[in-house]
Amino acid sequence: MKQQLIAGNWKMNGSLAANEALVHGIAQGLQAALSGKQAHVAVCAPAAYLSQVQQLTHSSGIDLGAQDLSAHEQGAYTGEISAAMLKDFAVRYAIVGHSERRHYHAESDELVATKAQRALSAGITPIVCVGETLAEREAGKTEEVVKRQLAAVIHANGHCISEIVVAYEPVWAIGTGKTATPQQAQAVHAVLRAQLQAATPHADRVQILYGGSMNATNAAQLLSQPDIDGGLIGGAALKPADFLTIIAAAAR
Ligand code: PGA
């Protein structure tokens, strides 16, 4: 059975002291949460703390992730961080196209696709986020929006597409406490799976995560859906006990 991936998205939270306490809390409870089963676990830390969190997570069974990366390879791009730089800190995953970046930084589908490409060519797994706003859902456009967002990434990445992770994150569910029901989430995941199947014979091994107010209470039901292969967790990833409960629900 395909392993599930539980990735924490810390967003712009943390400090040297808080990160240390958080990673220690997760690492200490990890074996008990997995209880002899398996799941991939990652934390996507703010760029400034990657070096610290690389050391904290070393040999802990927790992989390191970044929250973004540059669409450029190198050069005169003040403030940007390249895929190769992330790789220097043993970054395994990079979130791309999070709705907060699409919204606050006007990231287009094409830019997100290029970022996914940069990650893949550096040997980093992009966690490609897609999702509709409330207005788009109410207008019946959910499927159209997520397919358009994923199509750009498929188009730019060709046969490498089976190496990505997809995260379906309905914008209206992020940080709001409103979660998609397991049925609502599964319906969109099935659409994304079918789209991947049309693009690669290896679509079944692509992990499609759900994100948006996943927490210790609702995780088990969401993670039991056939096309939900893990979670991208914001708020609940900042609390070791909650994050560990989600990991326990994902362990197979
Ligand atoms: P949330 O965030 O779990 O706090 O809703 C998820 C995300 O934005 O990745």
Both tokens of residue 99? 């709705």
* Distance in Å, CA 87 to ligand 1 centroid: 25
98 is catalytic: yes
Residues 6+ apart with CB under 8 A from 105: none
pLDDT at residue 156, as a whole number: 96
**Residue from 68, 134, 232 to probe ligand 1 pocket by mutation (most atoms less than 8 Å from CB):** 232
Q: What is the pLDDT of residues 170-218, one digit of tens each?
A: 999 999 999 999 999 999 999 999 999 999 999 999 999 999 999 999 9
What confidence tens digit (pLDDT) does each residue in 15-73 have? Answer: 999 999 999 999 999 999 999 999 999 999 999 999 999 999 999 999 999 999 999 99
User: At residue 87, does pLDDT exceed 90?
Assistant: yes
User: Is the pLDDT score of 1 beyond 90?
Assistant: no
pLDDT value at residue 225: 98
Ligand 1 pocket member 103 (CB < 6 A): no
The residue whose CA is least distant from atom 1 of ligand 1 is 234
Closest Cα partner for 118 from 186, 66, 40?
A: 66
145-177 pLDDT, tens per residue? 999 999 999 999 988 999 999 999 999 999 999
Q: What is the dihedral of CA 133, 139, 140, 141, to 10 degrees?
A: -50
Residue nearest to atom 6 of ligand 1 (CA): 234
The partner residues of 208 in beta bridges, in order of sequence, read: 166
pLDDT at residue 159, as a whole number: 84
Residue 229 has a pLDDT of 98
- Reference 213, options 185, 191, 193, 241; nearest CA is 185
